[in-house]
């Protein structure tokens, strides 16, 4: 990855953010959940420049839904620090629109990388539609990648792992987004709020991969599960709906101690 090529490219979009007091965690650094929100916010602003953000799509009974995302964290900014989030559409893979992100500090150092896969969904039928007709105003940049992989299918096998329930949660009004379901980044928040305290206190989250499988809506009761891998740095997670056992998402986290 050539960072200069990214920041200087005319078709790469960016927004600046300054870390606010309520966006830092107990270590005084940007909460990883907030980082994920900033990625989504930047993608939305970029889509708006081509009249294909959620507000535009809803007029056609369509909407964007995040399907997969991988985030690699190199460093996290502190309170009052300013960062830039760069983003660009990479390519189309079947029904998925692939979008990458690079986050840099004001010294030009890369502090986070991400790749994501998005669907355009018919809001009446709740079914994905082909994205090509909606993103033809945006220039695709398949030659520039933040992370050299496509996360269309899960890149880990958790079938033989021993999952343990680590907590329960619920979908509240504050969790619901414009699509009337649990907003994608709240899955991450609910996972981390119900994860092992000793890992959260001593470890640094370095990598997060999320595969969204189904929607959760208001008042749904959720169960959060975690399994350890063969080493102490990798954990696998899933969130299920309590009343029917539906698997809503799978996650993998990588920690550094």
> Which residue matches tokens 């507000």?
55
Residue with tokens 């092992």: 196
As a three-state string, the secondary structure of the chain is: CCHHHHHHCCCCEEEEEECCHHHECCCCEECHHHHHHHHHHHHHHHHHHCCCCHHHHHCCCEEEEEEEEEEEECCCCECCCEEEEEEEEEEEECCEEEEEEEEEECCCCEEEEEEEEEEEEECCCCEEECCCCCCCCCCCCCCCCCCCCCCCCCCCCCCCCCCEEEEEEECCHHHECCCCCECHHHHHHHHHHCCCHHHHHHCEEEEEEEEECCCCCCCCEEEEEEEECCCCCEEEEEEEECCCCCEEEEEEEEEEC
Q: Is 42 exposed, middle or buried (0-12, 13-18, 19+ CB in 10 A)?
A: buried
Domain ranges of the chain: 3-129, 164-256
Q: What is the pLDDT along the chain (257 residues), one digit of tens a residue?
A: 788 889 889 999 999 999 999 999 999 999 999 999 999 999 999 999 999 999 999 999 999 999 999 999 999 999 999 999 999 999 999 999 999 999 999 999 999 999 999 999 999 999 999 998 898 889 999 999 999 888 766 666 667 788 999 999 999 999 999 999 999 999 999 999 998 878 888 889 999 999 999 999 999 999 999 998 767 788 999 999 999 999 999 999 999 98
Q: Do residues 229 and 87 touch, judged by C-beta distance below 8 A?
A: no
Class of domain 3-129: alpha beta
**Same topology for domains 3-129 and 164-256, yes or no?**
yes
Chain center to CA of 139: 22
Q: pTM of the prediction?
A: 0.94
pLDDT score for 124: 92
Angle between helices 32-49 and 184-193 (to 10 degrees): 180
Q: Is the dihedral of CA 92, 93, 97, 102 positive or negative?
A: negative
CATH number of 164-256: 3.10.129.10
Tell me, what's the pLDDT at 71? 97
């Amino acid at each position: 990855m050539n960072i200069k090529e990214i920041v200087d490219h005319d078709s790469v979009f960016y927004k600046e953010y300054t870390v606010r007091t309520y966006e830092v965690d107990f270590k005084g650094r940007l909460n990883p959940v907030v980082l994920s929100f900033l990625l989504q916010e930047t993608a939305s602003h970029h889509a708006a420049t081509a009249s294909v953000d959620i507000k535009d799509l809803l007029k056609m009974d369509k909407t964007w839904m995040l399907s997969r995302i991988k985030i690699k964290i190199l460093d996290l900014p502190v309170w009052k620090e300013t960062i830039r989030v760069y983003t660009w559409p990479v390519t189309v893979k079947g029904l998925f629109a692939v979008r990458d992100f690079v986050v840099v500090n004001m010294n030009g150092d890369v502090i986070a990388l991400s790749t994501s896969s998005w669907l355009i969904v018919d809001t009446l039928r709740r079914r994905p539609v082909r994205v090509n007709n909606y993103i033809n105003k945006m220039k695709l940049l398949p030659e520039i990648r933040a992370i050299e992989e496509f996360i269309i299918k899960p890149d880990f096998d958790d079938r033989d792992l021993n999952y343990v329930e680590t907590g329960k949660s619920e979908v509240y009004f504050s969790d619901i987004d414009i699509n009337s379901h649990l907003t994608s980044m709240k899955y991450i928040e609910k996972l981390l709020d119900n994860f092992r305290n000793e890992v959260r206190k001593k470890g640094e989250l370095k990598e997060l991969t999320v595969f969204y499988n189904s929607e959760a809506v208001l008042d749904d009761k959720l169960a959060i599960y975690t399994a350890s891998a063969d080493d102490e740095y990798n954990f696998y997670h899933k969130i299920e709906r309590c009343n029917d056992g539906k698997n809503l998402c799978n996650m993998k986290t990588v920690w550094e101690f």
